[in-house]
Structure 1
Amino acid sequence: MDRTLRDVAEVGPFFAVRTGPGETGADGGGSADHGPRAHGYRPLAELYATDPRRAVHPVRERAADVAGRLGTPELRVGASLAFQGLAARLWSVALGAAVLAGRVPDMAADRVWWNPALSAPNDLWLPHPSALPDSDDLAGQLAGTVLAGHLVPLHHATREACPVSGGLLWGNAGSALAGSLRVLHTWCVARGRTAEARSALDLTARLFQEPLLSGTGTLDAGDVSFVRRSCCLYYRVPGGGLCGDCVLR
C-alpha cells in the first residue's frame, strides 16, 4: 500500500499522505522517538474524542486559525472551511487509491495522524500503511472508512466545539467528495485512463446514495459537476465570493 499511496500522490497535493514510521523506525506514537507526535501530529481519533468542555480544543483552535488567516471574525466560517478541507484530504487519499489500485487504504482514525499547523500534502501521516481486505464493494469500504470512520465523528466534534450548522457541514462533506472526484477524473482523462475515470464517477455516484450525503446536492456525471444545497459560508470571507458549486449562484 505504501507504493500505491505514492502513486496516488501524483494526482495532486490533496491526494498525498506521508508514510513511514519516522526517523527511528519506532511505532510512530511515543514522545521519545521521532515519529509523528514528535513533529506535532496527533491521531485523528484523539481529535474526535476531545472533551468539548476543554478550554483549549483542537477543533476550535483550528477553526479560529482558519478564520484568522482568512480575515473573518466569524468562528463558524473557520469551522466550516476547516471541516471541508480535512474532508477533502480524506476523500482524496481514499478515493484515489480505490480508483487507481482497486484497494482502499486502512485509514482508521487511530492510524491517521494530523498536524493542524500544516497544509496539504504535509498535514496527514499514515505511519504504517496497509490496505483493507479485497472487496467487490469499494464504495461500501469508502463509506465505512471516510464517512463513518472520520466524517461522522468529525461532524460531531465540530458541532460540539463551534457554532455551525450540521446540515452545512454535511454539504461540505459532499462538496469535498465532488471536488476530489473532479481532480481525479480530470487527471485520469488527461492520461488516457478512461476506465479509471469511469470508476471514479461510479464510486462517487454510489457514495452520494449514502443517507448522509444523498441530500447534500446533485452530481451531474455528464460534465462531472456538482451543485450543493447548502452554502459553506465562504462568501462571508472578505473578497471571498461564491464557490462554483454554491446553492446561492
Structure 2
Amino acid sequence: MPQEPMAATLGRAAAVGPFFSVRTHAGAPRDQGFLPLAELYREGDSPALRNRLETVATRLGTAERRVAASLVHQGLAGRLWSIAFAPAVLAGRVPDLGGDALWWHPERSTPDELWLPAPSPLPSASEEDLTDRLRAAVLQSHLVPLQQAISAVSPISPRVLWGNAASALVGTLRVLHDWCRRTGHREAAERAVALTASLLDDAPLRDCGTLDPAVPEFSRRSCCLYYRVPGGGLCGDCVLRRTGR
C-alpha cells in the first residue's frame, strides 16, 4: 500500500501546535524574502543572520549580542527538531531537510518562517533507525553548521549552543508527549521519550544534561542566558537553578 505524501504527514504533525508547522506548498520562496538555510551556513559571517540577531537584541532590550545569538539559536533549533521529530514519532517518517530544501525567512516568526516547497522523506527507516534519520535530518544537516554560523557572527560558547540544542529537543518532546497523551496516542508518547533518550545519548548532545524519562523533564548543564534579558528569569531546566545563582 503506497504511503501518503510527505506533505500530508507534515500536515498531520502540524496539529500538535504552531512549532510543528511548516509550509509545504510549491512556490518561489526567494521572491518572498526566504533563503535556504544551507545558504546561510555557507556564507560564513552571514548578513541575514547578523541582522536577525540585531533585531532580536533590540526587541529584547539587550546590548549583549551573545544573549541574542543564544536565543535565536535555541528558537531555530526548536523549530528544526519539531518539524522532523513529530513525523518520526507519529508516522515513522523523517522529512529530508538536507541541501537547499528548507527555506527560512529572517524577519518572520513561527509558524511562518520555515518553508519546505518540495517535501520528501528520507529512506524508510525501521524503528531502530529513526534515531539515525533524525540525526541526519537535524543534527548533521542543520545544527552542526548552525552552531558554526552563530559562532561566526557572535562570540559564544559551544557548550551554551549544544545545551540549547538539547534543551530544544526536550522542549519538543514535552509538547508532543503531552499532545499524544491527551489524544490517546500512548504508544507514540512512549516512542517520543525513547527517541529523545537515544538522541541525547550520543555526541554532541551526550554531556548537555540529564533526562528524566518518567516526567519527561530535563536538567541541562549550561544556561541559555535568558536571565540576562531585562525582566528575564531562569528557564525550568537551567543549571543556575541547581547552583543557587
Report the equivalent of 2:177: 185
- The one of 73, 78, 83 equivalent to 1:93 is 83
Q: How does 1:162-173 map to 2 (within 5 A)?
A: 162-173=154-165
- The one of 98, 112, 115 equivalent to 1:108 is 98
- Is 1:17 the counterpart of 2:22 in the alignment? yes
Report the equivalent of 2:120: 130
Contact 1:109/1:150 (8 A) holds in 2:
no
Report the equivalent of 2:40: 47
Report the equivalent of 1:215: 207
Q: Deviations over 1:127-175 (max 9, x none)?
A: 0011111112000110111011100000001111111111100000000
**1:51 offset after TM fit, Å?**
3.1
Q: Deviations over 1:168-214 (max 9, x none)?
A: 00000000000000000000000111000001001110000121000
Please identify, of 158-167 and 176-185, the stretch whose mean Cα deviation from structure 2 is larger. 158-167
Q: Deviations over 1:41-66 (max 9, x none)?
A: 000011001132xxx62222111111
Aligned to 1:129, what secondary structure does the other structure show? Answer: coil
Q: How does 1:25-44 map to 2 (within 5 A)?
A: 35-44=28-37
- Is 1:155 the counterpart of 2:147 in the alignment? yes
Gaps of 5+ in 1: 23-34
- The one of 231, 241, 245 equivalent to 2:237 is 245
Aligned to 1:139, what secondary structure does the other structure show? Answer: helix
Q: Give the whole-Å Cα distance in 2 for the aligned partners of 1:74 and 1:89.
A: 24
- Is 1:65 the counterpart of 2:58 in the alignment? no
Normalising by the residue count of structure 2, what TM-score does the alignment of the two structures yield?
0.94
Q: Give the whole-Å Cα distance in 1 for the aligned partners of 2:140 and 2:118.
A: 21
Q: Deviations over 1:69-121 (max 9, x none)?
A: 11111110000000000000000010001001110001114100000111111
Aligned to 2:224, what secondary structure does the other structure show? Answer: coil
Q: Which has the higher helix share?
A: 2
Q: Deviations over 1:14-68 (max 9, x none)?
A: 100001112xxxxxxxxxxxx111111000011001132xxx6222211111111
Report the equivalent of 1:5: 10
Q: Give the whole-Å Cα distance in 2 for the aligned partners of 1:67 and 1:103.
A: 36
Q: Give the ranges of 4+ consecutive aligned residues of structure 1 lying more than 3 Å apart after TM superposition.
A: none
Contact 2:49/2:106 (8 A) holds in 1:
no
Count of aligned positions? 234
The one-letter code matched in structure 1 to 2:114 is: L
Contact 1:155/1:169 (8 A) holds in 2:
yes
Give percent identity, aligned residues only. Answer: 56
**Root-mean-square deviation over aligned CA pairs:** 0.9
Report the equivalent of 2:3: none
- Is 1:81 the counterpart of 2:71 in the alignment? yes
Normalising by the residue count of structure 1, what TM-score does the alignment of the two structures yield?
0.92
Q: Give the whole-Å Cα distance in 2 for the aligned partners of 1:109 and 1:245.
A: 33
The one-letter code matched in structure 2 to 1:178 is: V
Q: Give the whole-Å Cα distance in 2 for the aligned partners of 1:179 and 1:212.
A: 18
Q: Give the whole-Å Cα distance in 1 for the aligned partners of 2:154 and 2:226.
A: 16
The one-letter code matched in structure 2 to 1:203 is: L
